[in-house]
């Protein structure tokens, strides 16, 4: 019986493998490394994959040109149960140069009419063809993105993006937002984004995002945003941002249940409006921006532990925790700051509008260890 069960399992595995189909875009008319537009050919390969019930759409080595079809919709709509796979950095999907004269080019995303699930995007080089050196209001087309998963009416679920190099986007390299669930971004690299490297938002029901092992390279344009950015969360739950290397800041706000852990950040760490937030074992080295190196506002339930925070002479404060303003009555509440190393020009830890704060075991290098205003129930091993 054991032998028969093994034989049946092997047959089922082989049968499933045989049914997993591959759709090479060059078989549908895409021509690498020429001046022609390959959008229609790649669309045909994706359609064939959809009609087959799923499979792999292969992007062989070479450069393939894409141009916008409809306003604000993804150019390449990835159907359910589909892997979009290249052969590494040599497989390049690139916007037509006309992208610099118009807005709302989104390279890869979910079908507008049905959402998607069980999608893998991997081993690709995405090039946004941006020529703008920095953001200039009303001039830079800031909504041109690489990967853009957003759908107001349908669920987007179980999306994995792995080993993707995305560069030269005047908007975000990658963005995930409305109706997204179970999103994984792993081992991706970014360069020359005008807005964000990874932008994450949400909606009621959005949940379970993981960003890990990612990094941005040295830029030749002036990024206007963060390497990793969470905003417009709208009820987003359960986000993990860990083990990333960020040349720009991490900004993460509006999430219920977030872990920011093990990242190296050359910039700032900012987060407002989070609940149940853990920030642990990060290295946060400010550059020359003024203000606090770490700024956390309107946070209910915060553990800030084991981090290294290094300010510059332009950063008077290392860690600033605040709340209860005229805009939002939520204090910085139920906060623990422990076992950190914090260096700042003036004040290591500053509290303003906080409640139920515990501070202990920190190593602080600043003229003032702690300042506090409008703070209730402070338990600290420090003196102001």
Q: Give tens-digit pLDDT for 338-366.
A: 999 999 999 999 999 999 999 999 999 99
Give me the chain's average pLDDT, please. Answer: 93
Kindly state which CATH superfamily the domain 24-212 is placed in.
Answer: Single-stranded right-handed beta-helix, Pectin lyase-like (2.160.20.10)
Mean pLDDT score, 145-164: 97
Backbone angles phi, psi at 5, to 5 degrees: -65, -40
Eight-class DSSP state of 52: T
Q: How far is CA 283 from CA 85, 291, 301, 304, 315, in A?
A: 34, 18, 21, 12, 16
Predicted pLDDT of residue 287:
85
pLDDT-derived band of residue 213, with 50, 70 and 90 as boundaries?
very high
In whole angstroms, what is the distance from residue 340 CA to residue 360 CA? 9
- pTM for this entry: 0.93
Predicted pLDDT of residue 12:
42
Domain limits, the chain:
24-212, 292-384
Q: Which residue has the higher pLDDT, 260 or 287?
A: 260
158 neighbors 118 (Cβ within 8 angstroms): yes
> Is 8 exposed, middle or buried (CB count within 10 Å of its CB: 0-12, 13-18, 19+)?
exposed
Q: Which residue has the higher pLDDT, 223 or 308?
A: 308
Strand partners for 74: 106
pLDDT-derived band of residue 289, with 50, 70 and 90 as boundaries?
confident
Concatenating the DSSP letter of every residue in 179-245 gives TEEEEEEES-EEEEESS-SEEE---TT-EEEEEES-EEPPPSSB--S-SEEE---TT-EEEEEES-E
168 neighbors 191 (Cβ within 8 angstroms): yes
pLDDT-derived band of residue 384, with 50, 70 and 90 as boundaries?
low
Instruction: Give the residue from 179, 158, 171, 82 showing the smallest Cα distance to 126.
Output: 171
Predicted pLDDT of residue 69:
81
pLDDT-derived band of residue 192, with 50, 70 and 90 as boundaries?
very high
pLDDT-derived band of residue 208, with 50, 70 and 90 as boundaries?
very high
Tokens of 103: 């807005």
Model confidence at 161: pLDDT above 80: yes
Mean pLDDT score, 143-151: 96
Model confidence at 147: pLDDT above 60: yes
């Amino acid at each position: 019986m054991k032998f028969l069960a093994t034989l049946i399992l092997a047959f089922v595995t082989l049968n499933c493998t045989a049914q997993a189909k591959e759709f090479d875009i060059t078989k549908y008319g895409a021509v690498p490394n020429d001046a022609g537009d390959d959008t229609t050919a790649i669309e045909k390969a994706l359609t064939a994959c959809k009609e087959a019930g799923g499979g792999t759409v292969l992007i062989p080595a070479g450069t393939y040109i894409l141009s916008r079809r409809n306003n604000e919709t993804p150019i390449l709509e990835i159907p359910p149960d589909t892997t979009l796979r290249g052969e590494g950095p040599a497989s390049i999907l690139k916007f037509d140069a006309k992208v610099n004269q118009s807005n709302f080019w989104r390279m890869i995303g979910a079908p507008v009419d049905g959402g998607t699930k069980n999608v893998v995007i991997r081993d690709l080089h995405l090039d946004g063809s941006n020529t703008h050196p920095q953001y200039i209001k009303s001039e830079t087309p800031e909504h041109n993105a690489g990967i853009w998963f957003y759908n107001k009416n349908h669920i987007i679920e179980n999306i994995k993006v792995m080993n993707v190099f995305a560069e030269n986007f005047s908007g975000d390299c990658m963005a995930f937002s409305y109706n997204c669930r179970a999103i994984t971004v792993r081992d991706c690299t970014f360069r020359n984004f005008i807005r964000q490297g990874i932008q994450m938002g949400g909606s009621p029901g959005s949940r379970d995002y993981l960003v890990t092992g990612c990094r941005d390279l040295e830029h030749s344009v002036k990024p206007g945003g963060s390497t990793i950015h969470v905003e417009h969360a709208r009820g987003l739950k359960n986000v993990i941002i860990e083990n990333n290397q960020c040349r720009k800041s991490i900004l993460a706000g509006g999430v219920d249940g977030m872990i920011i852990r093990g990242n190296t950040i050359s910039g700032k760490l900012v987060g407002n409006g989070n609940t149940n937030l853990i920030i642990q074992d990060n290295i946060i080295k400010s550059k020359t921006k003024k203000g606090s190196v770490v700024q956390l506002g309107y946070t209910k339930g915060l553990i800030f532990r084991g981090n290294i925070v290094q300010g510059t002479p332009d950063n008077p404060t290392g860690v600033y925790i605040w709340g209860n303003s005229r805009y939002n009555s939520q204090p910085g509440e139920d906060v623990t700051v422990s076992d950190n190393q914090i260096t700042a020009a003036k004040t290591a830890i500053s509290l303003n509008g906080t409640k139920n704060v515990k501070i202990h075991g920190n190593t602080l290098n600043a003229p003032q260890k702690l300042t506090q205003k409008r703070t209730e129930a402070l338990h600290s091993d420090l003196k102001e």
